Amino acid sequence: MVLPFVTTVNDEKGTEDLAIKFANELQNGQVIVLNGNLGSGKTFFVKKVMNQLGINYVNSPSFAIVNEYEGKYKTYHFDFYRLLNIEELFDIGWQDYLNDTNAVIFIEWGELINEALPKERLEIFITILEGTMRKFEIIKYE
């Protein structure tokens, strides 16, 4: 996948196909930030990526802030939606998670606490188009 990457999918099957392609290019130490409105498919995309990593029981970490999984890669799945400030992240050991280069990190709603995001990351912007159509834009920050 050449970055930046932009595509439009027609439905959940298209999102799943994109997630499979994305999962096949993942590497340890990557941070992936997902941004988009409620219902845009952030958690669905993460679930489908994790399925490819051998992780089949995935749920949204909205209330827990972070869920940890073991599969092909150790994976941390964050959701910043309910966080009030960056201090809440530091209270749960945010820096330790970021320093774990043997894991992949997914962050939903990363734009809500942008100052917490590492400089090096992939950001996926999901835009709701018409009906089940979604636009995916993936940008690499270094």
Q: What is the CATH number of the domain that holds 77?
A: 3.40.50.300
CA distance 142 to 86: 22
The reported pLDDT for the residue numbered 62 is: 77
Q: What is the pLDDT of residues 4-44, one digit of tens each?
A: 999 999 999 999 999 999 999 999 999 999 999 999 999 99
Q: What is the pLDDT of residues 65-111, one digit of tens each?
A: 999 999 999 999 999 999 989 999 999 999 999 999 999 999 999 99
First to last CA, the chain: 17
15: phi then psi, degrees, rounded to nearest 5? -65, -40
Question: Could you tell me the residue range of the domain that residue 67 belongs to?
Answer: 5-141
* Residue 115: band (very low, low, confident or very high) from pLDDT cuts 50, 70, 90: very high
What's this model's pTM, rounded to 2 decimal places? Answer: 0.95
Question: What domain count does the chain have?
Answer: 1
